[in-house]
Structure 1
């Protein structure tokens, strides 16, 4: 049974569940209206030591994520916990959702007459921290458990707003206030505003991270492939981003971004933290789980639009163990041919639809080549209609660790580990303010990597690199985002 709470009107939606289960919402599924919250079936006995659980969903989601194809609600019920579920705006930022959530947390606290424990998935953890820290809801919450929350943003959001991907994500509808706010530069600003706030340590935070992103064709595979350059990830969020320096990491495990929120995956691992007697000494001592790991130079990216035919040339260096060519477009019927440097057609290209948060609705035309011949490869595309595309090439190569990128104030630097390496960078900037594109494809002169002074906002920076070492030529692409506040202070990772 579930109860809908709205303007103090109480309405029963379902009959009591059979066999002691919390039940399926089925055709009476009430989720999806921002600001409404729902009370699950009350178990026959609830120990006084057990806090009610408030479940908070993530990006492009709703409260039904906790019971549709997910046994988290049933698992909580079977363990005799009271539950509540809330719908936030699926595509708004942490400020809008934080303000809304703070108001509803107070209402839920008044309904139960006690503090709740928040269990939040993905961006829901950021919305929750915003509600507690910036909108004053901390007195009504005992603690917070985050399941693969991108506390430091997602490089997939950076990619979605980049100069190469903008053609495609614009038509897919991937750009919104939520994805804009999840760019790593903006999240660096949010972390600065939040982590120095007087309210930040009022609620213990416990974190989970995932390391699985599936095999080829799974919905999280392509996100995981791109994020692999940034370390272990669950197909949407890196392990590094799932951590907070003042939080306590409960577990990093073999879950993907979807399975980490399933009851059978993680409930038994955090249920001891749902009770009043939970020992928070680990929180008080400040967990010292370190966020570490540098970005590797594993990607080459191009994108745009065309009608009829299009060719993209891709350089593969000597010694590369593999190269994965992923042509992402808005069309499932594009005809693609990959040719090696000898102009021989390569393996069959497979087509799969994307169901992830950032490129949902796009089609991946993908092939992986083992031990690719060095030289210039050609990807030929043809389409009977106008097509937007993004080409992402992922290399498995020793060259991936040859270059590193650093952000220092208003300048980005690229460093080669070997002095024999020569390279030339080309920087392109997409400048956004308040989520709106203000200037596109801003170029710097003479290979400079110094940010132009465009004002407050997000600078989405793409750096295309061509280089060589011992006559072995290579190409790579770096994408970074930087936020500049009204005072000119620079935030980046």
Structure 2
């Protein structure tokens, strides 16, 4: 690590030197070091690169400035390339409004210190905080360009899951329900996009984006998040490619980075360095292939998400001693991947198929994403028998759990929520009647509401439904609405199936519905 020169508070040097490294920008609970609002410059090179701007690095959720320095060669590369750099600590678990205000105030200080505009290099939620600072707190006057590395511009469905009825209690037990994760729910971020992208100051600063498509192999730290997000499209284990895009930004590259590696200097700096010079054009339009006939706002996200799949079954609860969960697997399923997540590493998990064959976890690992601190127990079964499967769990203490089953099946793209119905404040499911017997569909629906990250969720609806009848959404006022559906039914060849559907919307103070 190269030498750092601090701009204001010398005592921060001691804090920084003895603190443990923090994971960067992953969506979940962390233990970041650094006092919010403190910023410092990197070592000044002997000759600052001609025509360059100072680079300001902004960390993500539950992280700190150390993410750019510890186990990352970004600061070494920028120094060797003769760039003047600065690093800032924001609030690790606050929303984009609080962090945007803080960052705006500090960018003014940096502007006065450097005597010129800066370029922001942001990772994960840091890109959302940066745009809040520029658009809603007038910091655009201090910033020349913004580069975002896997920023959830349209939110993350993992944040939706953390606030669902299946997982919300687990997230709360391990400390992952906070203002930041609440603000990253896709419904709320749709609202943020609307009021941000319609602001006339939006066009004053060019944005350059990166996205990742790698979430590792079975048993890896980002695999579970990637598996869950796969129903919404390509992703890096925490953020989908669709969410990493801005319809008015320039997408530099989407490649096989995961959510952690995308911020490493050797991974992306050579690709965005050409955009750091004053000689470069201020902005380039997003490729036409990414634009839809819809309104410009969030168009790229909606284009990709329109092809989402129903490939997940989710269950959750609490038990003492032992419990069991049963689910159906339809014929023709290529693979099932089961993930049992709880607060204990030594849970005893056994999965039994219709043929009485037993399976136990082949991988156990600690979560490093949205549910940081929980443990995953994973089982993969190729060519599973169709019929009823049962999971048995035992632990000598009271255990809270979230069970996810992912299906590789042709049935996945034959069922989805009607998003136009959601806009009209009602819930309806679309199915392919050539593969699914519509009159066999039944299940449970839960709709929850919360105004913001500080208010407790309230349940608006909990009822059973049959034959996919239209279900109205009760209006509780401005806030986030979670629509959670457990669905079961029969295929046209009389095989039982089960799936879970989860979406969020945001209703603003005028009653307008914002959906992903």
| 1:34-433 paired onto structure 2 within 5 Å | 34-283=36-285, 289-290=290-291, 291=300, 292-293=303-304, 294-356=307-369, 358-408=370-420, 409=423, 410-419=425-434, 421=436, 422=438, 423-433=441-451
Q: Which consecutive residues of structure 1, in runs of 5 or more, have no partner in the other structure?
A: 15-24
The offset of 1:3, in angstroms, is: 2.6
Question: What is the count of residue pairs matched by the alignment?
Answer: 479
Measured in 1, the distance between the counterparts of 2:352 and 2:510 equals 51
The one-character-per-residue Cα deviations of 1:234-271 (angstroms, maximum 9, x if unpaired) are 01000000000000000001100000000000000000
The offset of 1:145, in angstroms, is: 0.3
Measured in 2, the distance between the counterparts of 1:286 and 1:478 equals 31
In structure 2, the CA distance between the partners of 1:135 and 1:77, relative to structure 1 (3 Å rule), is same
Q: After the TM superposition, which of the residue ranges 374-383 and 422-431 deviates more from structure 2?
A: 422-431
The one-character-per-residue Cα deviations of 1:88-146 (angstroms, maximum 9, x if unpaired) are 00000000000000010010011000010000000000000000000000011000000
Contact 1:54–1:118 (8 Å) recurs in 2:
yes
Measured in 2, the distance between the counterparts of 1:431 and 1:88 equals 28
Residue number in structure 1 paired with 2:294:
none
Out of 489, 497, 512, the position equivalent to 1:474 is 497
Out of 437, 453, 464, the position equivalent to 2:475 is 453
Measured in 1, the distance between the counterparts of 2:183 and 2:223 equals 23
Q: Which consecutive residues of structure 2, in runs of 5 or more, have no partner in the other structure?
A: 22-32, 292-299
SS at match of 1:400: helix
In structure 2, the CA distance between the partners of 1:37 and 1:346, relative to structure 1 (3 Å rule), is same
Measured in 1, the distance between the counterparts of 2:171 and 2:129 equals 24
Residue number in structure 2 paired with 1:22:
none
Q: TM-score scaled by structure 2? A: 0.89
The one-character-per-residue Cα deviations of 1:411-434 (angstroms, maximum 9, x if unpaired) are 232111235622224210221112
Measured in 2, the distance between the counterparts of 1:151 and 1:394 equals 26
SS at match of 2:456: strand
Contact 1:246–1:287 (8 Å) recurs in 2:
no
The offset of 1:484, in angstroms, is: 1.0
Contact 1:427–1:449 (8 Å) recurs in 2:
no
Contact 1:427–1:443 (8 Å) recurs in 2:
yes
Measured in 2, the distance between the counterparts of 1:340 and 1:118 equals 52
SS at match of 2:5: strand
Measured in 2, the distance between the counterparts of 1:204 and 1:29 equals 35
Q: TM-score scaled by structure 1? A: 0.93
Out of 473, 480, 484, the position equivalent to 2:507 is 484
Measured in 1, the distance between the counterparts of 2:364 and 2:325 equals 18
CA RMSD of aligned residues (A): 1.9
The one-character-per-residue Cα deviations of 1:376-434 (angstroms, maximum 9, x if unpaired) are 00000111111000000000000101112232321232111235622224210221112
